[in-house]
Amino acid sequence: MISLETGGFIIFFWKTIRAIVTDLMAVLSDKQLKRLSEHKYKRDGGYTLLEPQLQPFWNWVVEKCPTWLAPNTITFVGLMVNVFTSLIIIFYIPDNKEHVSSSNY
């Protein structure tokens, strides 16, 4: 049993944290770290069929947003809009067996 009076818990805690951090640092090999450092981000990836068509829209959205607004904030606001509208539909039709009136969309 670890004694709290002798500071054994603190020593145990720091040894555990150090072991976890050491294990995490050894997750990637040197070859993987080198490849990760050489990675270049490509904005226009063309990963989906709709991306080339939607790129002008996203460029327009970025121009309208203030520069101090973090991209994660924009994503989070979009998520909250989706959650809020889903909750409205769930509130009106909890069993999902009827049609929702168009005013709820």
Write down the domain spans for the chain.
Answer: 1-29, 53-104
CB atoms near residue 20 (< 10 Å): 10
- 53-84 pLDDT, tens per residue? 888 888 898 899 898 988 889 889 999 999 99
Secondary structure element (H or E) that encloses residue 59, with its range: helix 51-64
Per-residue pLDDT tens for 17-36? Answer: 888 877 766 677 788 878 88
Q: What is the spatial distance between Cα 25 and Cα 13, in angstroms, rounded to a whole number?
A: 18
Per-residue model confidence (pLDDT) at position 5: 55
**Is residue 48 classed exposed, middle or buried when 0-12, 13-18 and 19+ CB atoms within 10 A define those classes?**
exposed
Q: Percentage of residues in the chain with pLDDT exceeding 90?
A: 10
CA nearest 77: which of 66, 69, 88?
A: 69
pLDDT attached to residue 83: 95
Mean pLDDT of the chain: 80
